[in-house]
Amino acid sequence: MNKYTEDDLREELKTKEYEYGFYTDIESDTFPIGLNEDIVRAISLKKEEPEWMTEWRLEAFRAWEKMEEPEWANVHYAKPDFQAISYYSAPNSKPKYNSLDEVDPELLATFAKLGISIDEQKKLSNVAMDVVVDSVSVATTFKKTLGEKGIIFMSISEAIREHPELVKKYIGTIVPQKDNFYAALNSAVFSDGSFCYIPKGVRCPMELSTYFRINQAGTGQFERTLVIADEGSYVSYLEGCTAPSRDENQLHAAVVELIALDDAEIKYSTVQNWYPGNAEGKGGVFNFVTKRGLCEKNAKISWTQVETGSAVTWKYPSCVLKGDNSVGEFYSIAVTNNHQQADTGTKMIHLGKNTKSTIISKGISAGKSQNSYRGLVKISPNADNARNFSQCDSLLMGNECGAHTFPYIEAKNKTAKIEHEATTSKIGEDQIFYCNQRGIDTEKAIALIVNGFSKEVLNKLPMEFAVEAQKLLEISLEGSVG
């Protein structure tokens, strides 16, 4: 008879392995380890950047040198040695391809393993993909279709060369170089990332997507994303991340800046599946990310994230609701297992009148992991009639994990309406037995319960992404049975 107790459940969860843990042997062009002004210059040079960009990077580097790594988050880890990292690694083939036929077959095999065959993506999901392996953008599809609408979607390196006026105008305006330790580091050494511009009144006809992946050992990935939605435009942007399993910790410090001008809307969805380390907590990606968006009048920004990976996550996608009647949304599922630690949430800064924000955060903790929600809702003195609704739900599996909620509220306007709800629940043996009795095995039962718990957020993801996210939840939480 199957005596399946919570202990077994915990055991099973512990033995789960990272499914994307393989390493593709592509020759890479990698810089020596260490960071100094010469390395920053070299990166800029390698990417054939204009002088202003080099200077901008150096300014960030000098600021970074004087900064301290923050310690306020509810995470504990051995700080990375920033001088032991190589800050540039690029696949050693031709840097850019016009068609998929030109792409290194081994790289395409990597995509196939990831289940994101570009070919298939192109055909089935109407998704234009900008794939970033290590640091260089390898293939941008659908560029032509987008070009006809005046939409610019390319790697940020290309954008710096081809649209310097746009990049120069907006880069660092939402996340300044000196914003924080990791943002400063990113500003100094960012290797690539995506750039997107939607012209006035244009509704982007397809989901734009970037797939990030860390391949090379001992490299950090510092991508920089800049999305600008001009007045009255709309774009839905998808970002997915994976990394092969490695014993050492890999560093990922990205910056994402979103700008939604008057009446524009940006939907930004992330599925993050960086390697979380093994069951003993060895290895895994340090994910220190700064994401922020600015809403002008009547604009709207929605962040949706499904975070199942990384050893340590430090990430607070935020909205600055500057324009009157602007709307900010944050929908998040964060799953931690084994020794993973996540400190994630959002900041909603209400500056304009009649601004609205919604926060739905779902934390799922298993193993010995620690999962924290940290959020700030700030209503400034001029933000009349600002409204916020926050809901933070935690689901616990087993007795060794932790769920924490740190909601900060600063209201400086008496007309503000702020609501906060929080719940904590546990997957019960009774729930599992109920499913078992209906013929649903424990693995499937957990998936069902977790998906139900996460439904409000999963529903916010674009269809194809939601399916992938559901699969990821299952992979992250279920033991490799058999």
Provide, rounded to whole angstroms, the least separation between the CB of residue 451 and another protein: 7
Task: Select 103 or 435, whichever has its Cβ closest to another protein.
Answer: 435
Among 113, 176, 440, 464, binds another protein (CB under 8 A): 440
- Contact in structure between 169 and 159 (CB atoms under 8 Å): no
Q: Which residue has the tokens 């290590």?
A: 134
Binding residue for another protein (CB under 8 A) from 126, 434, 467, 481?
A: 434
Shortest distance (Å) from residue 465 CB to another protein: 18
Which 449-468 positions form the footprint of another protein (CB under 8 A)?
449, 451-456
Residue type at 402 in one-letter notation: G
- Cβ–Cβ contacts within 10 Å for residue 335, how many? 28
Within residues 49-108, the interface with another protein by CB under 8 A covers none
Q: What is the CA radius of gyration of the chain?
A: 22
Interface pick for another protein out of 436, 464, 471, 474 (rule CB under 8 A): 436
DSSP per residue, 283-341: SEEEEEEEEEEEE-TT-EEEEEEEE---SEEEE--EEEE-STT-EEEEEEEEEE-TT-E
Select from 247, 379, 395, 373 the least CA-distant residue to 317: 373
Shortest Cβ 227–another protein spacing (Å): 31
Question: Would you give the binding string for another protein spanning residues 381-420, x where CB under 8 A is met?
Answer: ----------------------------------------
Binding mask 303-332 for another protein (x = CB under 8 A): ------------------------------
Please count the residues of this chain forming the interface with another protein, following the rule CB under 8 A.
28
- Interacting residue with another protein among 19, 429, 464, 474 (CB under 8 A): 429
Of these, 200, 413, 448, 464, which contacts another protein (CB under 8 A)?
448
Smallest separation (angstroms) from another protein to the CB of 216: 40
User: What is the rounded distance in angstroms from the CA atom of residue 382 to the CA atom of residue 152?
Assistant: 35
Handedness of CA 154, 160, 161, 164 (dihedral sign): positive
* Rounded distance between C-alpha atoms, residue 453 and residue 450, angstroms: 5
- Quick one: which segment of 100-108, 127-135, 307-315, 431-439 binds another protein (CB under 8 A)? 431-439
Query: Does 431 participate in binding another protein (rule CB under 8 A)?
Result: yes
Interface positions, 1-40, toward another protein (CB under 8 A): 1-5
For residue 318, give every residue at least 6 positions away whose Cβ sits within 8 Å of its Cβ, in sequence order, or none: 291, 292, 293, 346, 347, 348, 349
* Token code pair at residue 399: 């007795």
List residues near another protein by CB under 8 A.
Answer: 1-5, 428-431, 433-442, 444, 448-449, 451-456
